[in-house]
Structure 1
């Protein structure tokens, strides 16, 4: 084998052809599965999109580098399923641009974090992680509660996401600013519009416990509370199995 390699190194054309052949094989192995993507990606017709506030929270999550220590993909290994819940499905990430599957877990996986803890827990955890998890090495993000969320550019964010396949309507894009405000200020007139556009089950509340303003803490907690809850597709096999028993 090494003798063949040494001979190829003496002939530039032969070495170039060999490199192209090997790279083509690797590329084919990676590309071929995409031709069957329609059969391999699950269907979730009732899956909803992120609200503008949740989009803003996701942007903050990316900005602060949370994905570097937390993955969002539960593998099919038994111990992971027992700890975190049903393994992740491809369809659950179809509206994630970019995807945040991750590969390193300094902290736990967050794919099914939504609804696991209260808003107060998340606020306390982000304010000072050691208050709720003494062994945590996570930095504090208390400044989020004092930082007013920028919402004027959310229509552009939603429009950009629509260009890559997220089914935001013209109405959603047009009302992105008011919907972001309304989701975090439940007593405001804008709150009703959020449920009209995103569904009756959409969570509307002051996520940072301060209904008078919309902060970056509101947005990040709103995002964390929806993780794993855009669709029930991952839970359907378990529910079907339980009913059969």
Structure 2
């Protein structure tokens, strides 16, 4: 009996057809669900993993709002040409605190998984303000208004609280001081700057990302986010033997 003949016979028997659908769907479900039972053995440990600061999280929200993920992926595959171009391939643990994750596969522009500190803040500001100023052949739209738009900070505590709800370990102290920490990170000479390092670690970058320390803009936030991509943990830079999880 041909495959089509079997299908036609199943279509004439409703109960058999339903059972066949359930059987086929169960196979797909098993393939997707089974690995979850061993996830703790397959995902690397990253003791040095740090959280997004309020300013970086605000920049990530702007990145999503402006649709940057539609043209830029944040996932370097294990292929040799990708590793040679972009750097070490992406590890699952690097997206541990990304809600939602932004791995993607569409690359109208280059992958940004390791863009952090590859270019200067000034380069990013110029590029976002008018991409053609630094990349003449770029087809990326300009985002000049980011430099002119003051960053909203009164709701940053709510954003951190929402992230904690889905598992990101922000403390009450971090949530309460979110607005002050955002200002302090972009104004390293302010009284608030020292508290940012205390709450988020000495590796936290403190500087005026848009070049104007007295004004906190959406440009500050987006550049701060771009400069931390690939730098929340150095797990991808370490030999596999040094990682706690199994590969």
| TM-score bracket relative to the smaller structure | over 0.9
TM-score normalized by structure 2?
0.95
Larger deviation, residues 218-227 vs 17-26: 17-26
1:41 positional shift: 0.4
Deviations 1:207-245 (A, max 9, x none): 0001111000000000000000000100011897xxxxx
Matches within 5 A, 1:97-116: 97-116=99-118
Give the aligned partner of residue 153 of structure 1.
Answer: 155
Give the aligned partner of residue 135 of structure 1.
Answer: 137
How far apart, CA to CA, are the structure 1 residues paired with 2:86 and 2:127? 19
Give the aligned partner of residue 82 of structure 2.
Answer: 80
| Higher normalized contact order (CA 8 Å, seq sep 6+, divided by chain length) | 2
How many residues of Structure 1 are paired with residues of Structure 2 in the alignment?
240
- Please, which of 181, 185, 188 is the counterpart of residue 186 of structure 1? 188
Deviations 1:166-196 (A, max 9, x none): 1111111111110001111112111111001
Secondary structure of the equivalent of 1:234?
helix
How far apart, CA to CA, are the structure 1 residues paired with 2:48 and 2:173? 19
Specify every segment of 5 or more residues in structure 1 that has no aligned partner in the other structure, as ranges. 241-245
Give the aligned partner of residue 229 of structure 2.
Answer: 227
Give the aligned partner of residue 57 of structure 1.
Answer: 59
Kindly report the root-mean-square deviation, in angstroms, between the aligned alpha carbons of the 2 structures.
1.2
TM-score normalized by structure 1?
0.96
Specify every segment of 5 or more residues in structure 2 that has no aligned partner in the other structure, as ranges. 243-247
Give the aligned partner of residue 45 of structure 1.
Answer: 47
- Please, which of 9, 12, 30 is the counterpart of residue 28 of structure 1? 30
Deviations 1:121-154 (A, max 9, x none): 0000001111111111110000000000001111
